[in-house]
Amino acid sequence: MFDFDQYLGFLAFLGIFTLGFWLMLFLITFVIPYWIGGSLIERLNEIKEEKKAKREAATH
């Protein structure tokens, strides 16, 4: 069976592994899609503003 030190090490390993698992799950399902979606929306708005500025410059 386990000694007390080995038991504490095993619990520490399980705790760190579990925290890492939930962190990766959170990052993959929420943070990264939010980051990519926000950057795409921002880039599309920049493109729209560039086209609008070119149109206004052409008419004036």
pTM metric for this prediction: 0.67
What 3 state SS string does the chain have? CCCHHHHHHHHHHHHHHHHHHHHHHHHHHHHHHHHHHHHHHHHHHHHHHHHHHHHHHHHC
Tally the C-alpha atoms within 13 A of residue 50's C-alpha that lie toward its C-beta: 6
Q: Give tens-digit pLDDT for 5-53.
A: 999 999 999 999 999 999 999 999 999 999 999 999 999 999 999 999 9
What is the distance between the alpha carbons of residues 51 and 60, in angstroms, rounded to a whole number?
14
pLDDT of 34 reads 96
More confident residue, 1 or 24: 24
Contact 43, 35 (CB under 8 A): no
More confident residue, 8 or 59: 8
